[in-house]
Amino acid sequence: MILRPALFGVAVLAAAALPPAAFAQKAITLQEALQRAKPAVVLVVAEVASEVTLDCGAGPQKITPPVFRETGTGWFLDGDGWLITNGHVIQPAHEPPRWLANQQAQRAVTSACLPQVLKRMGLRTGDRPDAEEAAKRKLLDTVLPSAKVNLQPQIFVVTAKGRLKAEVKKYSPPVSEMSAKDLALLKVPGEAFPVLALADSRSVQIGDPVHIIGFPGVVLSHELLSRSMMVDSVVTNGAVSAIQADASGNPLIQTDASAAWGNSGGPTVSSRGSVVGVLTFVSLAPGAEGSIVQGFNFVIPSAAVADFVRGTPVKINGGSKFNDVWYAGLTAFYGEDYSGALRRFEEADTLHPNLPDVRRKLTEAREFVKNPPPKPFPWFWVAIGVTLVSAGGFGGQWLHRWNKNRYRVHPSEVIRLMEGGKSPIILDARRADSYEQLPLKIRDSLRVAPEDLAGSLSGLDLDMTRPVVAYCT
- pLDDT score of 176 more than 90: no
Strand order in the sheet with 468-471: 445-447, 425-428, 468-471
Look at residue 382 and tell me if it is in a domain. no
pTM value > 0.75: no
Look at residue 352 and tell me if it is in a domain. yes
Q: What is the pLDDT of residue 25?
A: 45
pLDDT band at 74 (very low <50, low <70, confident <90, very high): very high
208 and 340 assigned to the same domain: no
pLDDT band at 178 (very low <50, low <70, confident <90, very high): low
Q: Where are the beta strands (DSSP E) in 66-132?
A: 68-78, 82-85
Residue 224: domain span: 30-309
Please answer whether residues 9 and 29 qualify as being in contact, where contact means their C-beta atoms are separated by less than 8 angstroms: no
Average pLDDT score over residue span 85-108: 92
CA–CA separation, 83 vs 305, rounded Å?
A: 11
123 and 226 assigned to the same domain: yes
334 and 253 assigned to the same domain: no
In this predicted model, what pLDDT tens digit does every residue of 157-168 receive, in sequence order? 999 888 999 999
Look at residue 398 and tell me if it is in a domain. no
- pLDDT score of 417 more than 80: no
Q: What is the pLDDT of residue 356?
A: 92
209 and 131 assigned to the same domain: yes
Q: What is the pLDDT of residue 11?
A: 32
Here the CATH number for the domain that contains residue 159 is 2.40.10.120
175 and 215 assigned to the same domain: yes
CB atoms inside a 10 Å sphere around CB 22: 9
pLDDT band at 1 (very low <50, low <70, confident <90, very high): very low
Average pLDDT score over residue span 112-132: 81
Domain end residue (candidates: 309, 337, 361): 309
Look at residue 395 and tell me if it is in a domain. no
> How long a stretch of residues is the chain?
473
Domain end residue (candidates: 285, 309, 333): 309
- pLDDT score of 456 more than 70: no
The percent of residues above 70 in pLDDT, for the chain, comes to 84
Look at residue 178 and tell me if it is in a domain. yes
Look at residue 51 and tell me if it is in a domain. yes
Q: Which of 433 and 337 is assigned the larger pLDDT?
A: 337
Look at residue 405 and tell me if it is in a domain. no
Q: Which of 78 and 13 is assigned the larger pLDDT?
A: 78
* Number of domains present in the structure of the chain: 3
Q: Which of 10 and 249 is assigned the larger pLDDT?
A: 249
Q: What is the pLDDT of residue 292?
A: 60
Q: What is the pLDDT of residue 436?
A: 76
190 and 238 assigned to the same domain: yes
Q: What is the pLDDT of residue 225?
A: 40
In this predicted model, what pLDDT tens digit does every residue of 316-329 receive, in sequence order? 998 899 999 999 99
pLDDT band at 389 (very low <50, low <70, confident <90, very high): very high
Q: According to the per-residue pLDDT averaged within each range, which of 25-34, 288-297, 359-368, 404-413 is highest?
A: 359-368
120 and 212 assigned to the same domain: yes
282 and 362 assigned to the same domain: no
Look at residue 217 and tell me if it is in a domain. yes
297 and 439 assigned to the same domain: no
CA–CA separation, 328 vs 403, rounded Å?
A: 54
Q: Give the count of alpha carbons within 13 A of 103, CB side only.
A: 12
218 and 326 assigned to the same domain: no
348 and 448 assigned to the same domain: no
The percent of residues above 90 in pLDDT, for the chain, comes to 47
Q: Exposed, middle or buried: residue 10 (CB in 10 Å: 0-12, 13-18, 19+)? A: exposed
162 and 255 assigned to the same domain: yes
In this predicted model, what pLDDT tens digit does every residue of 4-53 receive, in sequence order? 333 223 333 333 344 444 333 468 899 999 999 999 999 999 999 999 99
